Structures are given as C-alpha cells and as structure tokens.
Amino acid sequence: MSALNLTLLLIGLLLIAALAAYAWHLWRRVWANQRARDEAQQERQQRIGGDLSILASSLLDEQLPLIEGSIRIKVLLDNYDSALSNDSRCQVFHLLFEATAEVPTHAGWKALDKAERRRFEKRFNELELQHKAAARIAARWLLDEGLKGSRANA
C-alpha cells in the first residue's frame, strides 16, 4: 500500500471517528432535552393536579362560588387530563361552563349595566340551584378518586 493510500485511509478513519463523536454528542443533547421536557411536563401535571385539588376542596367548603369554581375546574381538567375531563362524572363542569360561556368577564362584566348583571346573576342562581348537588358530588369524586387515578396513570 502506498503512503498516499495509507494517509487517505487514516484521514478517512479520523473523519469517521470525528463525525461519530459529534453524532454521539448531538444524541446526548437530544436525550437531555427529552428528559428535561418530560420533567417539566411532570411538574406541570403535579401543579395542575394540586390546583384542581384546591379548587375542588374550596368548592366543597363553599369558599368559592359554584359557577366560578366549576368553570375553573373544567378549564384545568381540560389541560390536566382529557380522559378525566370527559369522564361522565365531570360533565356537570362542562355543562356549567357552556351555560355561562356568553357571560362577559373582567372589563366586559364591569361594562354591563345593572339590569344585565342582574339577569346574569339570576341565571347563575338558577344554575346553582339546578346543579349544586351534582357539582359537589363531582368535586368530591375528583378529590377521592379521579385525581388519584389520574396521577397513577401519569
């Protein structure tokens, strides 16, 4: 074998080794990023689960208005676990969310005249009378079973 062939072979092998080392470095970064993403997702799930527990407890203790609590629980459930959110025992939260979807929030609420506010508040009271028991049952189920089962699956 000539010196030129040997030199080219050696350069080729060095190039292959350098590319392999770089590929290994890139894969390690991909794995580290995936691990960090998984940890962030797990922390997010734990945080939302804790928030759901607080909201459900507050709803049961009547520290939170039923309509507001139901809306907040529904939105967090959608972000926490879609299967849990779609469970038939949580449908009351969806029903109350949809029944109040047209109600303006924040500045829109403040901009309403008193007659409109009273009309909405009357509707809230009707909804609360109709669905309070079901919402309390759903909140209790979330605390006792729903969130615990969902955590086991996460």
pLDDT tens-digit map of 97-137: 999 998 888 888 888 899 999 999 999 999 999 999 999 99
Number of domains within the chain = 1
CA 14 to CA 33: how far, in whole Å? 29
Q: Distance (Å, rounded) from C-alpha 67 to C-alpha 103? A: 11
The answer to whether residues 69 and 58 touch, using CB atoms and an 8 Å cutoff, is yes
Full-model pTM: 0.79
What does the pLDDT read at residue 142? 95
Full residue range of the structural domain in which residue 115 is found: 3-153
